Structure 1
Amino acid sequence: MSARVHGLVREFGGRRILDDLDLTIGDGEFVALLGRSGSGKSTLLRLLAGLDSAGDTGVSGTVEVPGSVAVAFQEPRLLPWRVVRDNVSLGLHRDLGGDTAARVAERALAEVGLTERADAWPLTLSGGEAQRASLARALVREPQLLLLDEPFGALDALTRITMHRLVLDLWRRHRPGVLLVTHDVDEALLLADRVLVLADGRIAAEHHPGDRPRDADRLAPLRRTVLDELGVEVTDAA
């Protein structure tokens, strides 16, 4: 497995955000997590990433992540005073040495199509380029669990489509377990092996969109079901 959560409880100020939640992500499995704002999606992701701990106040239950973890957030969070190559290799110099770390970073940048931007400053990148750099930085250590926290939410529609294709391609090549946290039902159904709906602190529904490639017409009935589970009224035009 890439991760296992059992009986997870997370409380803030007396309010239970996660309530006896169970979840397993298999090796190489792509899981998408949907839920309304405030449902606890990012809270779960932070616990899996180790940004919060099962030993913290208000947290109980078991969180097991046997291997390495990497996170890509909605904001790329690149250091503006380092060029793209150095952002991607951040932290590798200590383990690999400067020259080897630079070569590893350059290979990762080639995978995401940013070879020519290796020496660029982050503030000169487009939104899509910055997210490509963020993905390269996340994948450069070959994580066993890749956590994606709404990484495409700030991108325009065409760039988002391109990033969806890139993420699937990278996932097929590297085969990490993936947890994608998103508000976008279409994105979840397009990308994931398994789509989960989080409600009342627990996994309220689970869906398997089927074999790839997928098309909107075939997914339409499932899309309506998921929107209904999220409390979104679906009209004929939706």
Structure 2
Amino acid sequence: MSAVRIRGLRRSFGAQPVLDGVDLTIGQGEFVALLGRSGTGKSTLLRILAGLDDGYTADELARPDSLAVAFQEPRLFPWLRVWRNVTFNLPDADLRGVARAALAEVELSEKEDAWPLTLSGGQAQRVSLARALARRPELLLLDEPFGALDALTRVSMHQLVDRLWQRHRPAVLMITHDVEEALTLADRVLVLDGGVLAADLRVTRDRPRRLDDPELRAARDDLLGLLGVRLQHS
């Protein structure tokens, strides 16, 4: 069963095509990472899936009604306490209980009554994830969610996202510029180039993954080559 089915997706800005016939299938519960150089249309594809861009044409575009998005910027409302940010626009009657459960999963129970501006960058991103998970999505869209974090916080967030994904098993599409991040988290790594998906690499290593694994190192080199990075080996 597929969570996402796309055929012949096209999107242009003026006379410039950005997506030029993208075909993509994401299985239920599958974690997919999407790489590509800047300006290749990664975030445009995610925004279309999120329902935030309707200026496209497609032969087919199917996605679940239940989806959630987490962006690079946490996009929290500074005038709402953390727990109210988590449950914003949710219809559930026990909103406080929903917020507490979601915040416990991201290890931020003690911050439920805090104001967003008192949080660190990593804490704010955890709240953003809690807000997404509180919606119990079948499809979770992550738009470079760790790009603004320092290296140590990114490692911690990778472990958290992996743990949450294994617990809830939504289908995930994660946009990233970081090849090692993609190989750490994803079942499949895609490369978007020239308006189409130019590569689709399946990652078969068990979790947790070690990036010094020869198979993952070879995959890393292949992906960097596809992204135009020339490697010099001694």
1:20-169 aligned within 5 A: 20-53=21-54, 56=55, 59-92=57-90, 95-97=91-93, 100-169=94-163
Deviations 1:87-134 (A, max 9, x none): 001011xx222xx01101110000000100000000000000000000
What is the alpha-carbon distance in structure 2 between the residues aligned to residue 96 and residue 221 of structure 1?
47
Tell me the amino acid that sits aligned with residue 227 of structure 2.
L
Task: Report the Cα offset of residue 66 of structure 1.
Answer: 2.6
Q: Could you tell me the TM-score, scaled by structure 2's length?
A: 0.96
Task: Report the Cα offset of residue 220 of structure 1.
Answer: 0.9
Q: Is the 8 A contact 2:11 2:20 kept in 1?
A: yes
User: Which residue number in structure 2 is paired with residue 17 of structure 1?
Assistant: 18
What is the alpha-carbon distance in structure 1 between the residues aligned to residue 11 and residue 58 of structure 2?
7
Task: Report the Cα offset of residue 59 of structure 1.
Answer: 3.3
Task: Report the Cα offset of residue 6 of structure 1.
Answer: 0.6
Task: Report the Cα offset of residue 160 of structure 1.
Answer: 0.2
Aligned residue for 2:70, secondary structure, equals strand
What is the alpha-carbon distance in structure 1 between the residues aligned to residue 210 and residue 64 of structure 2?
35
Identity across aligned pairs (percent)? 60
Q: Which runs of 4+ in 1 moved over 4 A?
A: none
Q: Is the 8 A contact 1:47 1:63 kept in 2?
A: no
What is the alpha-carbon distance in structure 1 between the residues aligned to residue 181 and residue 4 of structure 2?
22
Name structure 1 gaps, 5 residues minimum. none
The number of aligned residues is 230
Task: Report the Cα offset of residue 182 of structure 1.
Answer: 0.3
Q: Could you tell me the TM-score, scaled by structure 1's length?
A: 0.94
Aligned residue for 2:5, secondary structure, equals strand
Q: Is the 8 A contact 2:7 2:58 kept in 1?
A: no
What is the alpha-carbon distance in structure 1 between the residues aligned to residue 65 and residue 27 of structure 2?
12
What is the alpha-carbon distance in structure 2 between the residues aligned to residue 216 and residue 169 of structure 1?
18
Q: Is the 8 A contact 1:106 1:118 kept in 2?
A: yes
Task: Report the Cα offset of residue 215 of structure 1.
Answer: 1.3
Deviations 1:170-210 (A, max 9, x none): 00111000000000000001100000000001110111121
What is the alpha-carbon distance in structure 2 between the residues aligned to residue 132 and residue 66 of structure 1?
24
Tell me the amino acid that sits aligned with residue 107 of structure 1.
A
What is the alpha-carbon distance in structure 1 between the residues aligned to residue 57 and residue 200 of structure 2?
24
Residue 227 of structure 2 corresponds to residue 227 of structure 1: no
User: Which of 188, 198, 212 does residue 194 from structure 1 map onto?
Assistant: 188
Aligned-residue RMSD, C-alpha:
1.1
